[in-house]
């Protein structure tokens, strides 16, 4: 086995690692912002600039930056496709990271300079990354579901950018007039479903069976999920933009079918798992898909009640985005980041006095965080539906505490401060039924 020098190992993970570090900082900023906008959420005022600003700390700062980092890790390692222009990866982060902050702050405060600077840097960062990923995809050995998911998702990110720029122009000019809410509804479905959820469905096809150690699962449902989601988004968008309710209903039905296919695929992997115990990372993913199912059901009610339901629409976006997507991505983060840090730090070999990957963070803290964040999301949703500003603020504060716990875990992993250190003789005498190699594979 060719053992890389510590420098070479660290170098291999530097680009994804830098993205994950920036993303974690934005998650903390977004959670703090959630406390700030809680009264607007409780009032169902999702179109307020403050809400839009904080939303993009979550969607661009945490989700999009994390996905960019994961692509720079997965494409060379899981798809054997070396990144076409690694330097462009650094350049896009160098413009995208500050751009998101400037854009979010500018929109929230109505500060023109920050807004314009922000959207230009964000657009440049997105264009560089989409170009780099698109140039790397042809190098992949296999054209499988993960490959298709990435190709579809980056196309939708480009569309989300165009719709976002249009909405941004409207914030300054009001040109969209009554069409604003319809363009906004299209933008958020193109972005959240077309970009983020399609990406999650694609990479989950490879990651979930690996993380769950699943064997022989029925894997036909991912491609059905991808096809339905990829078709449902534009149909729903056309229905919104042309004000044709029947078309919007067809789009919503196809989209919900796609979510149902993904949930079924995930359940196939869970049922085919070799090991009974489900670890903490996968528990977050489980909570994420449960909130996704809830949001999918609520979506139909929002479509039916449409103009009368600002609070219902706000709850729908909150459950889908924070509950479904953010929690699922935190779960993947708990799987990928400790493994990267462990491999970079310990070179993938079990040695005396080396913690296992699972011991790179505290499982107890991760469990407390899961309960806190799940409870917080339900509390905020309840506060929005009942119009309770204080309830929304308490829920948002609990969510922030959960995110700070998460931040402390990621810091612990990055600094190599495992939750427990092995005594030399402990590995020498592997625990009953566990060889040293078993330690390494217990991801
Ligand atoms: C790629 C660059 C993007 C730009 C330039 C952009 C721009 C905007 C603007 C200007 C608004 C406010 C519209 C208004 O209040 O009228 C908005 C709203 C929104 N965007 Fe984006 N966006 C982008 C990416 C994304 C992504 C990637 C996501 C999700 C993954 C997203 C999710 C949302 C959501 C949920 C809202 C509604 C927030 C609210 O309630 O005000 N956006 N976007």
Contacts of 185 (CB under 8 A, 6+ apart): 240
d(C-alpha 194, C-alpha 232), whole Å: 9
The per-residue pLDDT for range 305-328, each reduced to its tens digit, is 765 578 999 999 999 999 999 999
Cβ atoms of residues 337 and 413 within 8 Å: yes
| The CATH number of domain 6-442 is 1.10.3720.10 | no
Cβ atoms of residues 57 and 33 within 8 Å: yes
Which sequence spans correspond to the domains of the chain? 6-442
pLDDT of 134 above 70: yes
Give 71's pLDDT tier (boundaries 50, 70, 90).
very high
- For residue 181, which atom of ligand 1 is closest to its CA? 16
Looking at residue 275, what DSSP letter applies?
A: S
What does the pLDDT read at residue 306? Answer: 64
Q: How far is the CA of 346 from the centre of ligand 1 (A)?
A: 40
**Residues forming beta bridges with residue 214, ordered by sequence position:** 273
Q: How far is the CA of 215 from the centre of ligand 1 (A)?
A: 39
Nearest CA to ligand 1 atom 41: 52
What does the pLDDT read at residue 355? Answer: 86
The per-residue pLDDT for range 164-176, each reduced to its tens digit, is 999 999 998 999 9
What does the pLDDT read at residue 3? Answer: 57
Mean pLDDT of 196-220: 96
E strands, 141-249, in order:
none
d(C-alpha 413, C-alpha 279), whole Å: 17
Contacts of 284 (CB under 8 A, 6+ apart): 327, 328, 330, 331, 334, 370
Q: How far is the CA of 129 from the centre of ligand 1 (A)?
A: 19
pLDDT of 419 above 70: no
Question: 290 is written with which tokens?
Answer: 């449960």
- How many alpha carbons lie under 13 Å from residue 308 in its C-beta half-sphere? 3
Q: How far is the CA of 332 from the centre of ligand 1 (A)?
A: 24
Nearest CA to ligand 1 atom 16: 167
- For residue 196, which atom of ligand 1 is closest to its CA? 30
Q: How far is the CA of 439 from the centre of ligand 1 (A)?
A: 43
Q: Mean of the per-residue pLDDT values for the chain?
A: 91
Calculate the CA dihedral of residues 347, 350, 353, 355 and round it to 10 degrees: 80
Q: How far does the chain reach from its first CA to its final CA, in angstroms?
A: 20
What does the pLDDT read at residue 304? Answer: 84
Looking at residue 305, what DSSP letter applies?
A: H
For tokens 């107890």, the residue is 364
Cβ atoms of residues 196 and 325 within 8 Å: yes
Question: 192 is written with which tokens?
Answer: 């959240």
Mean pLDDT of 196-207: 98
């Amino acid at each position: 086995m060719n053992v890389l020098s510590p420098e070479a190992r660290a170098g291999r993970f530097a680009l994804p690692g830098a993205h994950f570090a920036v993303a974690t900082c934005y998650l903390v900023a977004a959670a703090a912002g959630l406390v700030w906008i809680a009264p607007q959420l409780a009032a169902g005022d999702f179109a307020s600039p403050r809400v839009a600003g904080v939303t993009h700390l979550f969607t661009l700062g945490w989700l999009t930056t994390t996905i960019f980092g994961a692509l720079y890790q997965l494409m060379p390692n899981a798809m054997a496709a070396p990144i076409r222009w690694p330097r462009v990866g650094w350049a896009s982060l160098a413009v995208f990271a500050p751009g998101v902050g400037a854009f979010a702050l500018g929109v929230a405060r109505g500060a023109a300079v920050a807004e314009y600077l922000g959207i230009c840097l964000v657009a440049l960062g997105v264009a560089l990354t989409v170009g780099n990923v698109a140039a790397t995809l042809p190098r992949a050995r296999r054209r499988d579901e993960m490959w298709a998911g990435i190709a579809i998702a980056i196309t939708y990110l480009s569309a989300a950018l165009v719709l976002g720029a249009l909405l941004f122009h409207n914030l300054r000019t009001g040109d969209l007039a009554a069409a604003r809410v319809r363009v906004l509804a299209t933008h958020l479905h193109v972005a959240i479903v077309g970009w983020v959820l399609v990406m999650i469905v694609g990479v989950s096809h490879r990651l979930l069976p690996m993380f769950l150690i699943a064997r022989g699962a029925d894997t036909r449902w991912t491609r059905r999920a991808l096809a339905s989601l990829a078709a449902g988004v534009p149909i729903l968008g056309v229905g919104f933009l042309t004000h044709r309710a029947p078309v919007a209903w067809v789009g919503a039905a196809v989209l919900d079918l796609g979510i149902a296919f993904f949930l079924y695929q995930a359940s196939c992997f869970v049922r085919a798992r070799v090991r009974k115990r489900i670890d903490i990372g996968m528990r977050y993913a489980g909570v994420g898909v449960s909130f996704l199912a809830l949001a999918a059901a609520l979506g139909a009610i929002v479509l039916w009640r449409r103009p009368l339901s600002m609070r219902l629409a706000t709850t729908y976006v909150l459950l889908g985005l924070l509950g479904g997507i953010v929690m699922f991505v935190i779960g993947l983060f708990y799987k990928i980041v400790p493994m990267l840090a462990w491999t970079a730090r310990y070179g993938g070999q079990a040695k005396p006095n080396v913690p296992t990957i699972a011991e790179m963070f505290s499982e107890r803290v991760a469990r407390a965080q899961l309960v806190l964040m799940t409870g917080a999301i339900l509390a905020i949703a309840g506060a929005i539906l009942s119009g309770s500003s204080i309830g929304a603020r308490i829920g948002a504060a609990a969510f922030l505490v959960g995110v700070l716990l998460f931040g402390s875990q990621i810091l612990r992993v990055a600094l190599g401060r495992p939750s427990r250190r092995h005594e030399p003789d402990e590995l020498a005498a592997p625990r009953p039924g566990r060889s040293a190699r078993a330690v390494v594979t217990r991801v």
